[in-house]
A and B are shown apart, each in its own frame.
Chain A
Amino acid sequence: MSIQVKFFASLREKIGKAEVELATASNAGDAWAQATDNAPRPDNVLVAINLDYAKFDSVVKDGDEVAFFPPVTGG
């Protein structure tokens, strides 16, 4: 098992990758740090764990999917 990290839209272009696989991560903030090699985190970045909005201190478990993305602009 592992943790899948995904980046979307402008954040994907900024970070330069769409997906990263991590062996472990304690929370979403830790997943960001590992997946981006400690890149600074823009204030407006949103995070979802297993398709639900979460916080950066939300716990991440083995098998989780963690997604980072900019403010949504649909509609």
Chain B
Amino acid sequence: MASRVSEQHIDPWQLIAEHQAAHRQNGQFGAAASFIGTMRDFSERQNLSKMTLEHYPAMTGQYLEKLEQEAREQWPLQDCLIVHRVGDIYPGDAIVIIACWSAHRRAALDACNWLIEELKYRAPFWKQEFNPEGAHWVEENTNGHSSN
């Protein structure tokens, strides 16, 4: 199991490369799929300068583990990495990393897609955006299972 929350800045490419080097043996996996969510400086509001990600610490830890477990039950994954930021985040910063490794491409791609959509729908994180007009809570995520 490799799912966690980070209060510190994360470098997604470095984390994925380090995880693969530490846990996967060359020749044993045929596919790696990843999703990296990054903060923009716009949403429904413009000129965002910062975002604060709040979470429900005890529940998020449990939920990320549960999502990884459910993905492993649905697809023949060899490995999985989920890291989600909390705290203050700035435009260009990574918010979330999901990476899946499998023997064949379909399992890694489908599991990665399912994990990000489930995470956005179920894991207890909340975004508060800041721009020159003040602070605003993001009210809901778009439904990526059927659109976007």
Residues of A within 8 A of B (CB): 6, 8-10, 13, 44, 48, 51, 53, 67, 69-75
Contact = CB atoms under 8 A, between A and B. Distances in A.
Interface stretch (B9-17, B23-31, B115-123): B115-123
Contacts of B124: 8, 48, 69, 72, 74
A3 to B, nearest CB: 16
Interface residues of B, number: 27
A71 B137 CA distance: 11
B35 to A, nearest CB: 9
* Majority DSSP secondary structure for residues of B touching A: mixed
Closest 10 CB pairs of A and B: A74-B125, A9-B126, A75-B120, A10-B137, A73-B138, A51-B59, A71-B140, A73-B127, A75-B119, A74-B123
Contacts of A8: 54, 56, 124, 126
23 contacts: A8-B126, A9-B128, A13-B137, A51-B59, A53-B122, A67-B56, A69-B56, A70-B126, A71-B139, A71-B141, A72-B120, A72-B121, A72-B125, A73-B125, A73-B138, A73-B140, A74-B53, A74-B55, A74-B84, A74-B123, A74-B127, A75-B95, A75-B119
A71 B124 CA distance: 8
